[in-house]
Structure 1
Amino acid sequence: MGAIERPTFSSDASRQLYEYVERNGTVKRHKLLDVVSLPTDEFRDHLEGLKSDGYLEEDGGTLQISLEFGAITEYEIDDLSFLVRPGRQDDFDGLIETIRDVTAAETYVVAETIAEELLYEDSVSRHNAVKSRMFFVASVDGEVVGWTHLDLPQVEPMQGTAQQTVGVREAYRGNGIGTKLLARGIEWAEANGYRKVYNSVPITNDRALEFLTVHGWDTEAIRRDHYEIDGECVDEVMMAYEL
């Protein structure tokens, strides 16, 4: 199932099963059986239908939503080897730590908001009739060191644009990781029919603004005094990349 496809269900029971997994990130199979009042055979039929339709996937009795985000790519730059791959539920703690590492060093309000959403919802990926959220991560020796995030509205008038964020832990900057992550998100958005990605950054975050500008992003608008940071009003720079 692709993240731009709205989920549709053959029965109310299938919808309930999917929505429970989608809200919770991962769910044990035996726990899911308690969600709907169904005989075991019917439960199995609905669950197998969701799996065969590409809505859910199961690994060792643990279920999660199944989204087609692409392959794992390995890079070696200078002496550093890293992977860029789709994010998954077991990256949850690493994502939170990485986002907080980035936002501790520089003001990135949108990324801070994403971290709070992750903590509140306890789920890396979201995909429902209203919104989708997906991540690609960069990992070194299994540790998450960077991310790019795409927020994908499902409301039809907004389906052509996606919000993208990107960040890399301070200790791993200067190795091209951010460039690879940014490109991976853009490539995915373009391949899936989006016409624009955008990113909103406080005007005081010189490093982020320079990074985006170097990679071809343009200033689309400035919202005056949009943030209050350390007691001072700060403009928000809305950057965009046309696909």
Structure 2
Amino acid sequence: MGASDRPTFASDASRQIYEYVERHGTVDRDKLLEFVALPAGEFRTHLEGLISDGYLEEDDGTLRIAVEFGAVEEYDIDDLEFTIRPAHHDDFDGLIETIRDVTAAETYVVAESIAEELLYENAIMRHNSVRSRMFFVATVEGEVVGWTHLELPQIDRLQGTAQQTVGVRQAYQGHGIGSTLLERGIEWAEANGFRKVYNSVPVTNEHALAFLAHRGWDTEAIRRDHYVVGDELVDEVMMAREL
């Protein structure tokens, strides 16, 4: 199942199973049976159908949603070796720490809100009939040091545009990781039929605005006094890139 595909189900039971796993990120197979009101045989039939259809995947009894959205890629820039790949649930703590590292140094309200969503939902991936959320991460020796995130609305009138965020830990900036992550997200969005990505940044975050502008992003709109930073009202700059 692709991240831009809206999930459809053959039965209410299959929907019930999928939605429970989707909401919880990862679920133990035996515990899932306790929470869904289905006989064991019927549960097994519907679950195996979801796995064979590519909606769920199972690893040693642990279930998660199965979304195909990219391969693992290795880079060596300025003598720093790093990997960019799709995020998975085991990256949860490292992803939160990385977002907090970035937002501690620069005001990035959207990224802060994404970290809070992750903590509240306890799931990296979301993919349902309303929205999808996906991440690529950059790792150095297995440690998450950067991310790019795409928020993908499933509502018809909003499909075609995606919100993107990107960030790299301070200690790893200046090695091309941020640029590589940004382009990885853009390439994925373009390959999957999106026509535009956008990023909303406080006007005080001059580094982020210059980073995006240098890479072909344009200022699409400014929302006056949209954020409260400290005791001051701060404009939001909405940057966009046509694909």
Instruction: Compute the TM-score of the two structures, normalised by the length of structure 1.
Output: 0.99
Mapping 1:6-155, distance limit 5 Å: 6-155=6-155
For residues 96 and 17 of structure 2, what CA distance do their matches in structure 1 show?
27
User: Does the CA contact (< 8 Å) of 1:202 and 1:236 recur in 2?
Assistant: yes
**Superposed counterparts of 1:161-180, under 5 Å:** 161-180=161-180
Deviations 1:21-71 (A, max 9, x none): 000000011011112232222211111100011100011110000001110
User: Following the alignment from structure 1 to structure 2, what is the Cα–Cα distance between the partners of residues 19 and 38?
Assistant: 15
* Structure 2 unpaired stretches of 5+: none
Is the contact between residue 17 and residue 35 of structure 1 (CA under 8 Å) also seen in structure 2? no
Q: SS of 1:34's equivalent?
A: helix
Match of residue 187 from structure 2: 187
Give SS of 2:124's match: coil
The Cα offsets for residues 82-127 of structure 1, whole Å up to 9 and x where unpaired, read as 1000011111101100000000000000000000000111000000
* Large movers: runs of 4+ above 4 Å: none
How far apart are the structure 1 equivalents of 2:42 and 2:157?
38
Partner of 2:225: 225
Q: How many pairs align?
A: 243
Residues in 2 aligned to 1:74 and 1:94: alpha-carbon distance in whole angstroms: 19
Amino acid across the alignment from 2:242: E
1:153-211 Cα shifts (integer Å, max 9, x gaps):
01100001000000000000001000110000000000000000000000000110010
Matched-pair identity in %: 75
Q: CA deviation at 1:78?
A: 2.1
Q: What letter corresponds to residue 37 of structure 1 in structure 2?
A: A
The separation in 2 between residues aligned to 1:112 and 1:241, in whole angstroms, is 22
Superposition RMSD on alpha carbons, in Å? 0.7
Distance (Å, rounded) in 2 between the aligned partners of 1:38 and 1:199? 43
| Partner Cα separation in structure 2 for residue 67 and residue 221 of structure 1 | 33
Q: With the length of structure 2 as denominator, give the TM-score of the two structures.
A: 0.99
